[in-house]
Amino acid sequence: MKKAILFLLILTLLLPAGALAQDMPHAGAEVVTNFMQSGTYDVGAEQLEAGFEEATGIELEIVASPFVVLVQNNITDLATGTGEFDVISGDFWIGSVWGQMHPLDDFIERDMWGGSFIEGLTKQGPSAYFDGKRIGIPYSADAYGLIYRTDIFEEAGISADWETWDDFIAVLGELEMHLEGTDIAPNVFAFGASEQAAAIFLGMYDSYLVDADGNYALDHDEAIASLNQLKSLLDYNPEGATGLSIDEANSVFLTGKAATMICWVSFVRAAAQDPDASLVVDNWATATFPGPGFPFLSAWNLFISGYSENPEAAWEWIKYYITEDEAKRRFVELGVGSPFLSTYEDPELIEQYSHDFPAMVANLNRAETVPWIFAAFEVFFRHMSEFIIGAATAEETLEATLTDWAELEVPEGLVQSAMAQGQMQEG
Amino acid sequence: MILFVVPAFIIVVAVQFYPLAYSAFLSVTDWVLTESQTPKGFVGLENFAKELSDETFRRSVRNSVYITGGALALQMTLGICLAYLTMGSSWRMRAIRTLLILPMVIAPVAAGTLWRILLNSRAGLVNHVLSVIGIKGPEWLAHPDWAIVSVILLDTWQWTPFVLLVVGAAIASIPDDLLEVAAIDGASRWQTFLYVELPLLMPLLLLTLVFRMLESLLSLDSIYSLTFGGPGYSTYTLTYYIYTLGLRSFNFGAAAASSWIFMVFASLSIGLVFWYQRRDW
């Protein structure tokens, strides 16, 4: 009798534990995930931490670092096989270590996981792939954009329907005439933040970034034309534009001193609609980013490190963090661009962001990443900065860039990304 | 007796010489971390040759010389002047000295950010003050030459107090009787400074110069936050160059070779100062 009671008692104790093990198959596992310390992505993760731990029994550690440190940590962690992080936050900047990432296809297929991602963002480039396998999933999306003053355009009888940079520059000419005698510049851009000008170049440039042999390259004539066109924008910018930082350029627009601004729209969206910070509330809209190039895309992906001891638990975290509801919440509360179409089709949000959403989605659909590692980007933007301040000609800039690029190797993952995005020389 | 020294000797060798030796090893290897987990092989002096012929490297050296040279000249001159102007132990002088050393305790990265705001050509205080007195301020951070001047100004603002402190202490230690003898001999204030005080101060001034030279050459965080090495490569210093090679491009071989060239360059500069110090003042 005693034995039977004892058996029943043990059974009673074990049943919930068994059920728990079924509900929480990874309970007790530890996952270390990293994010950029921006007060957005990292805060979004911290807000989910307790709920995730409770729902899965997985112990989550969030490591937030400034951008440069994050990239350094990710590259050294993966290149040396240290395995400090299970879930890695990154994009093409860490393309040199994409080969060390855990493929995600099996997880996605098994769990039939997905969502209403913006079509362009699911392609190779915005989403990270290596050797044909998906290794990263975007959790944010921001495309370089162009915003304009609706009141000024209306007053001048100009429509913001440009397709190319030639069209846009022609509009700037019209604006210049219309704004003559005022202290409003037709355009403003943060030329002083030298790394930013590459985004305009990429919008103007319509050719390869990697040659047929897999080396960093640029088409000579296209590059020269784009550099010169980029510099011509200075004619329509306020005096001293070559020294403007991002915040300073934003301030020029927000104080009503520019009719258009080329920028990361996410950096200025909230402030532009805040009456305490902006003189252009309800008088601005996002426009299509001109071509024939592409809007430069910032799409943070979550990867699972190939050195993770808990890839299953790491995948649980990715599924928990990247959901349509969470993306919408992060967009509304933290200003993080959502990779999901459902955010931009939300009736409530459409009403609030009617001046912003249509062009933003169009830009995101066309947006591309670049196959540049840090060293390649550094070389490019520094030489371009010399050109912008008048210390070098377009020819010298291109020659110096190509000379420095000749020393660099394009990582395999980024060659594949360039090929998939049509950025590779044919032949 | 030797046995007692051995543990300390081993620790010193491990802590001090092993990193140096490893860096020397790296400097003769081809190793880009993003391309390979281990060094690809021995390349002899190729990294050194490449760096010495690299235009960006040479420009970085030039920038370092301009910035360090300009900053040191200003800091030593201003530091000595301020030390003399703030001599004394009254509460006013003590308060002034305390105020003057405040920039030194600000983190360089914060100081760089602060000066970035001050030197903003459109809304910065510096150009505003200049406009009040009828001068159109330059594009401090957007013009290659003015960007170098900006870095020199920042370094001078932050580290002149160090010279002031050291020189102030040295002046206070000069025996009064020497000054009295000079006065009795009819020496003017300038002559007393030139022929009595300066020779006595010189060893300490040279030591201060060495400290400041090293600090200035190694400076990275303030330049990073003030100019980001720009515009273009205008304020790209040797330290900035090595940082970029090592921690942004992960080219450990080239970064190690550049570091050794930097070390030789810095050692020669310091050696020159010490050689000068041997003069009988």
- pLDDT tens per residue across span B51-88: 999 999 999 999 999 999 999 999 999 999 999 999 88
Is residue B271 domain-resident?
no
Question: Residue B85: CB partners within 8 Å, gap ≥ 6?
Answer: none
CA dist B161 and B97 (Å) reads 8
Find residue A117's DSSP bridge partners: A340
Which residues fall within 8 angstroms of residue B278, CB to CB, at 6 or more apart? none
Query: Which residues does chain A have within 8 Å of residue B244's beta carbon, measured at their own beta carbons?
Result: 375, 378
Q: A108 near A134, Cβ under 8 Å? A: yes
Question: Which amino acid makes up residue A372?
Answer: W
Shortest CA distance from A238: residue in chain B: B122
| Structural domain includes residue B99 | yes
User: Out of B34, B122, B236, whose CB is closest to A240?
Assistant: B122
Contact assessment for residue B216 and residue A375, using Cβ atoms and an 8 Å cutoff: no
Contact B143 A389 (CB under 8 A): yes
Structural domain boundaries, residue B234: 64-250
Q: Which of B35, B144, B250 sits opposite A391 (nearest CB)?
A: B144
Q: Do B34 and A411 touch (CB under 8 A)?
A: yes
Residue-by-residue DSSP string for A124-145? BTTB-EETTEE-EEE---EEEE
> From residue B115, how far is each of A121, B106, B154 by CA, in Å?
40, 12, 7
Identify whether B13 is part of a domain.
no
Interface of B with A (CB under 8 A): 32-35, 37, 55-56, 116, 120-123, 139-144, 228-234, 236, 244, 247-251
8 A C-beta contact, residue A298 and residue A263 = no
Report the alpha-carbon distance of residue B9 to residue A193 in Å, rounded: 50
The verdict on residue B79 lying in a domain is: yes
List chain B residues with pLDDT less than 50.
Answer: none
- Characterize the bridge pairing of strands A129-130 and A142-149: unpaired
- Tell me if B12 is assigned to some domain: no
Can you give the CATH number for the domain in which B187 is found? Answer: 1.10.3720.10
Q: Is residue B16 part of a domain?
A: no
pLDDT at A12: 58
Q: How many domains does chain B have?
A: 1
Ranges of chain A whose pLDDT falls below 70:
1-22
CA B64 to CA B216: how far, in whole Å? Answer: 8
pLDDT (0 to 100) of residue B75: 96
Measured in degrees and rounded to the nearest 5, phi and psi for residue A370 equal -120, 155
Residue located via tokens 């300038």: B190
CA-to-CA distance for A353 and A335, rounded, in angstroms? 12
- Which chain B positions have a beta carbon within 8 Å of A79's beta carbon? 33-34, 37, 250
Rounded Cα distance between A403 and A424, Å, is 19
What is the distance between the alpha carbons of residues B235 and B226, in angstroms, rounded to a whole number? Answer: 10
Instruction: Give chain A positions within 8 Å (CB) of B225.
Output: none
Strand, coil or helix: A233:
helix
Tell me how crowded residue A309 is: count the other CB atoms within 10 A of its CB. 12
Residue B198 has which token pair?
């300066």
Which of B31, B56, B117, B122 has the highest number of chain A CBs within 10 A, making it the mutation to test binding with A? B122
pLDDT at residue A16, as a whole number: 52
Domain assignment present for B73: yes
Spell out the domains of chain A, with CATH numbers in brackets: 29-141+299-345 (3.40.190.10), 144-296+372-420 (3.40.190.10)
* Cβ within 8 Å, pair B231-A192: yes
Q: Quick one: which of A307, A312, A321, A322 has its CA closest to A25?
A: A312
For residue B11, the number of C-alpha atoms closer than 13 Å in the C-beta half-sphere is: 5
Cα angle value A90/A93/A95 (rounded, 5°) = 90
Q: Report if residue B58 sits inside a domain.
A: no
pLDDT at B3: 83
Cα–Cα distances in angstroms (integers) from residue A14 to residues A7, A9, A20, A28, in the given order:
10, 9, 10, 17
Q: Global pTM? A: 0.86
Q: How far, in Å, CA of A179 to CA of A237, rounded?
A: 12
